[in-house]
Amino acid sequence: MNSVVNVNLPGREYEILIGPGILAEAGPRIAQMGGRRHVAIITDETVAGLHMAALQDSLRASELSSEFLALPAGEATKSWPELQRSVEWLLDQKVERGDVVVAFGGGVIGDLAGFAAAILRRGVRFVQIPTTLLAQVDSSVGGKTGINAPHGKNLIGAFHQPSLVLADTSLLDTLAPRDYLAGYGEVVKYGLLGDAGFFDWLEQKAPGMANNMDACVHAVRRSCQMKAEIVNRDEKEQGDRALLNLGHTFCHAFEAATGYSDRLLHGEGVAIGCAMAFELSARLGLCSQEDPSRVRAHLRDMGMKVDLADIEGELPDAAALLTLMGQDKKVVDGKLRFVLARGIGEAFITSDVPRDAVLGLLDDALLQRR
């Protein structure tokens, strides 16, 4: 059942191992990588409580000692103070250029620990052991690392590829259903942006996926394959990699409008954003009206948030949401870049979207809330 996906960046090739129980590979795999027989692990308090013993057992069985730093769980940890704390802790651990740092957690820990590894001694190797669906299919792969600024999310960071990714799908059993579904927002994104056959498959299999390990492994593998293919073509997001931002320009505005709070999780915003990107594509005559309807129907089948009406509490008006979209770091020369679609699995990047079309779409979506 276990699978391997390769990222083939010249000189920085690495494997993504996927499957139930892959965590047990951590010891043998990290031991093969050389460096001191001591591993520094950055994690969060929740993951440490649930899974640290299993990771440390695997390391110990390969004669590797380890220590861990457990940071508070949650987005607020992607900050300067926690970065400073992490880097100084790694220095206390005497991590050297040849050593390996482990990022053990969801997207917050992967991004923060990866960035700490990128800047420590001008760059040390790190291993991603993602523990959430979102991190397994998206954030642990491709080398985007960083923290948030008061000005917006992920505005401070570096590209730093991991040396290995271990995606243990059995760890997903401990996720709260809402977190699992939020991660699914990134899975469905892959079908929508570039593989209509995968979207068909998800329509059939994804509703029972949380209790079907084979289906879960397939979904994580296909998502990682698609991400690896795109990162191989365009590591630094000069072109195609921006396709991975399908739904994200909308999502980032909604996250900012809800104060990055648990009113809206990132993956929930991605799902709503994907539905809106398809709706905008249909309004611009790029795809048929059936496509956004199909996207929405599938998200509803999954029990996910689909529309702005599904976000509780106040939201700003359409003009203010559009301004928040302008804060997105995908703005080029002041023009918003959108990922739109000519059909399911046929996304493309464009800066040529009339402002009024976006305003009209947001206005209509906000009206449904009344």
Residues 6+ apart with CB under 8 A from 60: 27, 66
Active site residue 51: no
Concatenate the DSSP letters of all residues of 312-345 into one string: -S----HHHHHHHHHTSTT-BTTBPPEEEESSTT
Q: Which of these segments, 118-126, 137-145, 320-328, 329-337, binds ligand GLY (CB under 6 A)? A: 137-145
Q: Out of 138, 268, 279, 328, point to the residue binding ligand GLY (CB under 6 A).
A: 138
Contact assessment for residue 30 and residue 63, using Cβ atoms and an 8 Å cutoff? no
Out of 51, 125, 160, 241, the active site residue is 241
Active site residue 252: yes
- For position 183 contacting ligand GLY by CB under 6 A, the verdict is no
Centre a 10 Å sphere on the Cβ of residue 337 and count the other Cβ atoms it contains: 17
Q: Which of these segments, 64-72, 92-100, 138-146, 279-287, binds ligand GLY (CB under 6 A)? A: 138-146
Burial class of 293 by CB neighbour count within 10 A (0 to 12, 13 to 18, 19+)? middle
Of the pair 105, 142, the CB lying nearest ligand GLY is at: 142
Radius of gyration in angstroms for the set of CA atoms belonging to the chain, rounded to a whole number? 20
CB of 325 to ligand GLY, least distance (A): 17
Rounded CA gap, 217 and 20, in Å?
8
Q: How far, in whole angstroms, is CA 183 from its chain's centroid?
A: 8
* 136-160-258 Cα angle (round to 5): 60
Rounded CA gap, 53 and 66, in Å?
11
Of the pair 240, 346, the CB lying nearest ligand GLY is at: 240
Of the pair 276, 318, the CB lying nearest ligand GLY is at: 276
Out of 221, 227, 296, 305, the active site residue is 227
Active site residue 245: yes
Contact assessment for residue 340 and residue 281, using Cβ atoms and an 8 Å cutoff? yes
Q: Which of these segments, 6-14, 71-79, 136-144, 338-346, binds ligand GLY (CB under 6 A)? A: 136-144
Active site residue 186: yes
Out of 237, 255, 268, 279, the active site residue is 237
Q: Out of 51, 144, 221, 296, point to the residue binding ligand GLY (CB under 6 A).
A: 144
Active site residue 144: yes
CB of 315 to ligand GLY, least distance (A): 24
- For position 142 contacting ligand GLY by CB under 6 A, the verdict is yes
Active site residue 227: yes
The sign of the dihedral angle between the CA atoms of 300, 108, 236, 142 is negative
Count CA atoms closer than 13 A to 171's CA, side-chain side: 30
Of the pair 193, 344, the CB lying nearest ligand GLY is at: 193
Out of 29, 153, 266, 330, the active site residue is 266
Give the H or E element holding residue 16: strand 14-19
CB of 313 to ligand GLY, least distance (A): 26
Out of 51, 78, 221, 248, the active site residue is 248
220-240 exposure pattern, b = at least 16 Cβ within 10 A, e = fewer: bbbbbbbbbebbbeebebeeb
- Which residue in the shown chain puts its C-beta closest to ligand GLY? 244
Subset of residues 34 to 73 that bind ligand GLY, contact rule: CB under 6 A: none
What string marks each residue from 241 to 260 as x (binds ligand GLY by CB under 6 A) or -? Answer: x--x----------------
Active site residue 298: no
Summarize as ranges the residues that interact with ligand GLY (CB under 6 A).
Answer: 138, 142, 144, 241, 244
Catalytic residue numbers read: 122, 144, 186, 227, 237, 241, 245, 248, 252, 266
